């Protein structure tokens, strides 16, 4: 079942692109090459590609069939869309705060009774002797 679903998803993904859908037109290409070979026995594959793909749009008697060849005409008949269906929509309400900033009225004040550890440390600069 997993293999089937994965093949299905890959197929849907690949066929959504224009270039990959042109693979379905390959039988028209083979039929058209055979038709030209029957009409002219010396018409090679290189001549066919040069005539139909590298010479621009040649308006000859089989122009309608030429337009059915792969990569000859771009058709935008299919659009890929993804639809999500939401059964119930839960709305999240976010309340805005009344004040964005809270003032702090406590300021740092140097305390006189603060004793620094620097004075008791053994790593001190040398003292000047008088």
- Provide the domain limits for residue 13: 1-98
63-122 pLDDT per residue, tens: 888 888 887 776 655 555 666 665 666 667 777 767 666 676 666 666 565 566 666 667
65 within some domain = yes
Reported as a pLDDT band with limits 50, 70 and 90, residue 129 is: low
Question: How many angstroms separate the CA atoms of 130 and 126, rounded?
Answer: 13
The reply to whether 33 falls in a domain is: yes
Q: How many domains does the chain have?
A: 1
Under 8 Å between Cβ of 69 and 23: no
Between 27 and 80, the higher pLDDT residue: 27
Residue 105, in any domain of the structure: no
In a domain? residue 21: yes
Instruction: Name the one residue in this structure whose structure tokens are 């702090």.
Output: 104
- Could you tell me if residue 113 is inside a domain? no
Rg (CA), the chain: 40
CB atoms within 10 A of CB 43: 15
Distance of CA 107 to the CA centre of its chain: 54
Q: Is residue 9 part of a domain?
A: yes
Q: How does DSSP assign 3-41, residue by residue?
A: HHHHHHHHHHHHHTSHHHHGGGGHHHHHHHHHHHHHH-T
Task: Give domain status of residue 124, yes or no.
Answer: no
The 10 Å Cβ neighbour count of residue 70 is: 16
Cα gap 41→79, rounded to integer Å: 42
15 domain residue, yes or no: yes
Contacts of 80 (CB under 8 A, 6+ apart): 16
Sequence-ordered alpha helix ranges (H) in 22-91: 26-39, 45-53, 63-66
């Amino acid at each position: 079942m997993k293999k089937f679903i994965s093949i299905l998803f890959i197929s849907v993904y690949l066929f959504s692109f224009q270039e990959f859908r042109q693979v379905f037109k390959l039988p028209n290409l083979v039929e058209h090459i055979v038709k030209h070979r029957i009409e002219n026995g010396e018409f090679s594959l290189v001549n066919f590609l040069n005539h139909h793909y590298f010479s621009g749009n040649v308006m000859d008697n089989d122009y309608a069939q030429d337009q059915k060849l792969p990569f000859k005409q771009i058709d935008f008949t299919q659009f890929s869309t993804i639809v999500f269906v939401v059964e119930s929509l839960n709305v999240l309400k976010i309340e805005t705060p009344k004040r964005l900033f809270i003032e702090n009225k406590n300021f740092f004040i140097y305390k006189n009774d603060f004793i620094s550890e620097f004075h008791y440390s053994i790593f001190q600069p040398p003292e000047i002797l008088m």
